Each structure stands twice: as C-alpha cells, then as structure tokens.
Structure 1
C-alpha cells in the first residue's frame, strides 16, 4: 500500500486566537518599503539641507535627525542612537506579542502594524546612518516650519490616532 505524499504549503503565521499575523506583518513591511524607497530617493536627489518648495505650505528638504520626535535629544553625543534603537526593538517585540494575542481585532492591529512599520523604518536609518532621514516639511508663512518628518513618522502618527480611536470606541461600547 503506497502512502500519499503531500506537497509542503505556505501557512500563514497564526496567533493564539487562530487569526493570521500575516496581513499585519505585511502592512508593516509595506510601510518599511515605502519609507526606505522614499528615503533612498530623497538622499540621491538632494544634498543635506537642500530645500525644494512644492506648494506655498510644503517643501521637500533633506534633513538628518539623530534624536527622536521633534529632534528630542539630537544634540547629545551619540548615545541616543543606541537608546532609541533599543526602544524600537523592545516596542516591536511587544507589538508582535500584542498582534499574536489580538490578531482578530482589525483596527487595533492596523494601529499596531503601522506603528511597528514606522518604528522599524526609523530603526533601519539609525543603524545604517546614525540618524533618521526626514524630508517632508510643512510650514505656514510668518509662523514657521513644523519639524521635518518622513513616511515612518507618518505611519507611527496614524497608528497612534487609530489606537486612540479604537480605545475610545471600545470604552464607549462598555
């Protein structure tokens, strides 16, 4: 009697609740990909500090940020690179744990996936260059410029907004 051979097949990573982590990891990967492609493009097109007006309120500019959001700790001696890299790695580990535990909660997982993709996008910069590459510059005439940021920062911000919205929605249900 011959035994039937089965072909190996790709199986999605499953959480403890049975929902797949694959879509959430895919979203994070897309954020990383878009972030890194945009940063490579801007660094090959611009010199550090070069600015190109696009509209009356938006410029493209190549800026380096060795600190965190709004250049927090950017004037330190370099230790902050490792500090922020450590925070990013710890956050990603915790996010993967949360995704495994709550993979069926769509908005919550969207938020986590966006935050994870953004954190990894900026972590790649810190490890590869020693600073984060920023290039999106919004401003109001006579008022000043908002600090330059990038696609990873945008994903983190959108993820944080979704996280807050999901939490408010959850609280209002109870």
Structure 2
C-alpha cells in the first residue's frame, strides 16, 4: 500500500512541476517577456535558465556539468527510493516526503534532458529584502521532501534513552 503512496507522490510532484513550468514559461510566454509581476514584491515570475544547482552553484555551462548533475540527481533519487523502501516501508509521511524529493529531482532532470538547463521562474521577496534568485516548484518539492524526511524519521528507543 505505502509503495503506491510513494509512487503517487513522485508522479504528483513531477506533474505539478512540469505543468507549472509549461504554463508559466510557455503559456504566459515568460521566456519572451522575462518578467511578470504577480503579487509584487511577494511573488513574481522571472525567467531563469539554471545550468548549475541551487543559487547558480556549479554553473559551468558545459555538457559535462549537465551530465554530471543529471547522474548525481538520479543517483540521489535512487538512493532515497531504496532507503525509504528498506527502512520505512510502512510510514506514509516518509513515503510522501521521499516522493516529493524524488519527483522534484526527476522534474529537474527532465528539464536538463529537454532544454539543457533547469527552467526557473519563481521569485519571492519580502520586507524590503530584494531576492535576486529564481527557483521552481521542483526545488520546493525537493526542499519540502528533505525536511519531511528529517521531521518524520522515527528515533529508536535506544537513541532516545541515551
């Protein structure tokens, strides 16, 4: 049963990520317009092509970097799948968290395969802080999934007793 939860979480995260990128970047033509103020300054759409990882780290703009990041993402996704399947087969919160992380990672992998980079479009600022960075829903799912996996990781009684 929970294996299905993991698969559904992966599929939903992946489909929501890809649909949002298509709707905003192509449907709203953000790739041509470059900026759309939605609810300034809290929520704006800003077109971004991320060839590295978060915040432009490892932005080598080379095919080698692209393929290394694809391989790394797939290895992490596979390791998370195997770990949660082996260690937490009955935990729905862990299955959902792992599914969000894996679905987000696969969404960004598909971008790298199709475009050569990850499509980013979300920009959020607040309280006189002007955030120059852009991200996407896959990044949100990866972050939320990782946090969920930490929060929902059950602690053994032996660890709590010490």
Q: Shorter chain as normaliser: what TM range?
A: 0.7 to 0.9
* Structure 2 runs not aligned, ≥5 long: none
In the alignment, which residue of structure 2 is the partner of 1:118? 104
Q: Would you say 1:156 and 2:142 are equivalent positions?
A: yes
Q: 1:21–1:99: 8 Å Cα contact kept in structure 2? A: no
In the alignment, which residue of structure 2 is the partner of 1:108? 94
Q: 1:42–1:62: 8 Å Cα contact kept in structure 2? A: no
Residue 60 of structure 1 aligns to a residue whose secondary structure is strand
Higher radius of gyration, 1 or 2: 1
How far off is 1:148 after superposition?
0.8
With over 3 angstroms needed to count, the CA separation of the structure-2 counterparts of 1:84 and 1:158, relative to structure 1, is same
CA distance in 2, matches of 1:37, 1:126: 16
In the alignment, which residue of structure 2 is the partner of 1:130? 116
In the alignment, which residue of structure 2 is the partner of 1:51? 35
RMSD, aligned α-carbons? 2.1
Q: Would you say 1:65 and 2:50 are equivalent positions?
A: yes
Q: 1:99–1:109: 8 Å Cα contact kept in structure 2? A: yes
How many residues are matched? Answer: 155
Q: Would you say 1:165 and 2:143 are equivalent positions?
A: no
CA distance in 1, matches of 2:83, 2:24: 34
CA distance in 1, matches of 2:50, 2:107: 14
In the alignment, which residue of structure 1 is the partner of 2:131? 145
Identify the range of structure 1 (124-133 vs 91-100) with the bigger mean alpha-carbon deviation. 91-100
With over 3 angstroms needed to count, the CA separation of the structure-2 counterparts of 1:49 and 1:74, relative to structure 1, is farther
Identify the range of structure 1 (32-41 vs 73-82) with the bigger mean alpha-carbon deviation. 73-82
Q: 2:5–2:96: 8 Å Cα contact kept in structure 1? A: no
Q: Which structure ranks higher in relative contact order (CA pairs < 8 Å, sequence separation ≥ 6)?
A: 2
CA distance in 1, matches of 2:152, 2:127: 35
In the alignment, which residue of structure 2 is the partner of 1:40? 22
CA distance in 2, matches of 1:134, 1:171: 39
With over 3 angstroms needed to count, the CA separation of the structure-2 counterparts of 1:78 and 1:66, relative to structure 1, is same
CA distance in 2, matches of 1:124, 1:33: 11
Residue 99 of structure 1 aligns to a residue whose secondary structure is helix
Q: Would you say 1:79 and 2:73 are equivalent positions?
A: no
* Structure 1 runs not aligned, ≥5 long: 1-18
Residue 52 of structure 1 aligns to a residue whose secondary structure is strand
